[in-house]
Every structure is written in C-alpha cells, then in structure tokens.
Amino acid sequence: MLTQGETVEAHALRKQGWTISAIARHLGRDRKTVRNYLNGVTEPGVRRREEDPFEPFVEYVTSRLLEDPHLWAQTLFDELVEMRFEQSYSSLTRQIRERGLRPTCPQCTTAVNRPNAVIEHPPGEETQWDRLDLPDPPASWGWGKTAHLLVGTFACSGRWRGYLAPNTTRPQVIAGLDRITRQLGGVTRNWRFDRMATVCHPASGDVKPEFASVAKYYGVSVKICPPRAGHRKGVVEGENRSIAQRWWRTLPDELTPEQAQASLDEHCRVRADTRDLPGTSPDARDEEREVVGAHRRRHRVSARSSGGTVSRGPIRAEEGLTASVGAMEGQPVLRAAGAGDGRGHRHRAARRQLYRHCHRFRDRHRPAPPRCPRHWGAGS
C-alpha cells in the first residue's frame, strides 16, 4: 500500500517518462502495486472491501426468522450447511445478532435469570424417560391432532433415542421402551419417569403392578419424580426442546410414519450422537458404555438361568403384550398379559393368539399318557 506522498511522487515520475519498473525500484514497491495506483484501480488510504460470505444467505435467514421467530439458530445452521454455508455456528449467531434479523418476542424477554439446579449423574447410573406431544402431524398419518414421542436419554452423556407412536397406551410404551433400549445398547441402573399414567399412579407416585413386572425383568429401579420437579430429569427435558426445534419443525409433510421414524433415527446418529453435554468428557462416555454393557451381560445370564421364553425379534405394539419384556438386544422375554390388561378387540385378539401359541407349545412337549391296560400289547 502506497502513502499519499508516494502516490504523488509515482504520478510525477510517470509524467516525466519513467517506466513502471523504474518507479517500483525507486519506491521499493512491487510493480503490480505501482501500476494499480497509477491506473486508479487502488486509491491511497482505502482498502479493498472483501466480499461478505454471509450476504447470499441474508434473504433466506430473514424469511425463516420472520416465519418462525422462535426457530433455533442451531436448526437454521443445519439447514444452511446443506446450502453450502461454510462459516461456523458462532458466525451465524453473530450475523443474526449484529444485523438484527430475529424479531423480538415480548413473552421471551421475561424468561431470563431463572435459578438452575445442577445435578450430578455418574456414568451408567440413570436413564431419563419422558413423553413428548408433537402438534399437528401430517393428516395422511390419521393420528389426529397430536403425535406422541417416547424419549429415553442417558443422564450422563445425553445420548438419546425416540419412538414415534399414535397414542400412549401401555403396549405402545412397552414397544417404545424395548426399541429405545436396544438402540442405546442396554440399560442403566435406574429409570426415571415423571408421573406417567402408564407407569405409576399420578396421585401417589406408586409404580403400577402392570409396569412393575417390566421393571423387574429389565433389572432396573424405577424412580418417580416428585410433583412439580421437572428439573429432576432436566437432561431429557432439554432433549425434548431440541427434538421439537431441530427435527419436528423441519419434518416434511409428505413422509409416512415409518419414514419419520427413520428420519428421527438418522437425526440421532448425525446430530445428537456427535455432541456431548457440557462438562462430559470422552472418558465418561466410555465408562458409561462399560457400565451399560456389564449390566447387559449380567442380565443375559439371569435370563438364561430363569428359564424364560426368549424371543429374538423386537416387540411390536400391535401384539398387545403388557407384561415383562427383555431389555437386551436379542433377549426380549414375552409373557401373556394378565386379566384386565389391554382394551379393545385388537388387544383381545392378540392375547388369544398368544394363548393358542402357548397351548400348542405345551401340548407339543407334554409327555404321552400311559396306555390303557386293555391296549397293552396292541400293535406289538
């Protein structure tokens, strides 16, 4: 960059017939630099303005935030990455803040400076479960105005999986527990629920007998949150907000329920599993896997020694099973539902089918009765 004095001297020497190379040697500058100043391409004291890499995305970001002022910046960042956005997440939030692209919400300005409770969760100690109601599912699903998502989260690392269902009946809850537990790789020592009606009595918090058989076979302790103490399972509550903002809000309407479930599983692998909770180290993740794996191995030994009927396939909600099921991958135990469990013709038909299967198995392995004395010697 030439100073004002050097620029004046370069113009004067040029008018005197000096070549650009001679002027560059005289001033100790590069020839291209001298040529740009002499041709007016560059002005002294004025730096060339670099192209703003965020400018091509301003219109899209503005329209998305006007459409949904509460859209998470992380969700917006995921969308921009697919549009070849090469800057970082912090650059995106800085651009939104400096340009004032997000509209102001009066209700959100009051929800600040709230006290927070920090609860320690050792690796492999607790899995937090919650049910998330998702509004306005696609009409083609035929699920009404609300879809239901069962979410299971490791309290230490924050790894989670979800099960999408049309209702919250006990068969759907058991099917969701089985599927999520398989995907997470096993069970922790404790399961924590809020006062979910399919798990406990909402008024007293006592675990229902129907669900107690499930917990016994899984080999876990069931912890129920006190009333109005949602912070006690704050890890899964935080994941619920992430699911609603980063996945459900961006789900296309043309997907089927099966495709939506596959989309959620892919979201977990690509987005959720690649990050750690604040303060969680890789060593804690490894220790969590070891604890869960050890619990899974102990459970397999106990399942073999108990002599239970083992099924290799996953539990399906349409089977109407409301008794204990196995937690480990490839080790679900199916037992017939008790009297009064399950409602509706479909559940009763599923139970009858299960009973017929059990009777056929019993008759096939029952020893033959002794032959009548008067038939002794017949056929010999």
Per-residue pLDDT, 68: 85
Per-residue pLDDT, 47: 67
- Higher per-residue confidence, 13 vs 301: 13
- Higher per-residue confidence, 298 vs 87: 87
User: Which ranges of the chain would DSSP assign to H, the alpha helix?
Assistant: 4-15, 20-27, 31-39, 58-67, 73-82, 89-99, 170-184, 209-218, 234-246, 257-267, 282-306, 345-365
Per-residue pLDDT, 53: 87
Residue 303 contacts by C-beta under 8 Å, 6 or more apart in sequence?
Answer: 217, 310, 326, 328, 331, 333
| Topology of the domain comprising 126-295 | Nucleotidyltransferase; domain 5 (3.30.420)
* 149: nearest Cα among 253, 268, 254: 268
Say how far residue 355 (Cα) sits from the centre of its chain: 37
Mean pLDDT of the chain: 76
Average pLDDT (243-254) is: 87
DSSP labels, 246-287 = HTGGG--TT--HHHHHHHHHHHIIIIITT---TT--HHHHHH
Per-residue pLDDT, 325: 39
* Cα(229)–Cα(222) distance, integer angstroms: 16
Tens digits of residue pLDDT in 280-324: 556 666 666 676 766 655 555 444 444 444 444 565 555 444 333
Q: Which amino acid is at 209?
A: P
- Higher per-residue confidence, 13 vs 233: 13
* 177: nearest Cα among 194, 200, 141, 153: 153
pLDDT score of 20 more than 60: yes
pLDDT score of 248 more than 80: yes
Lowest mean pLDDT among 19-33, 85-99, 225-239, 336-350: 336-350
Name the 3-class secondary structure at 325. coil
Per-residue pLDDT, 159: 86
Per-residue pLDDT, 261: 94
The 10 Å Cβ neighbour count of residue 326 is 24
List the domain boundaries for the chain: 4-39, 55-104, 126-295, 309-363
pLDDT score of 167 more than 90: yes
Average pLDDT (151-179) is: 90
pLDDT score of 212 more than 60: yes
Per-residue pLDDT, 376: 42
Residue 356 DSSP code: H
Average pLDDT (38-47) is: 76
Lowest mean pLDDT among 194-198, 228-232, 321-325, 370-374: 321-325
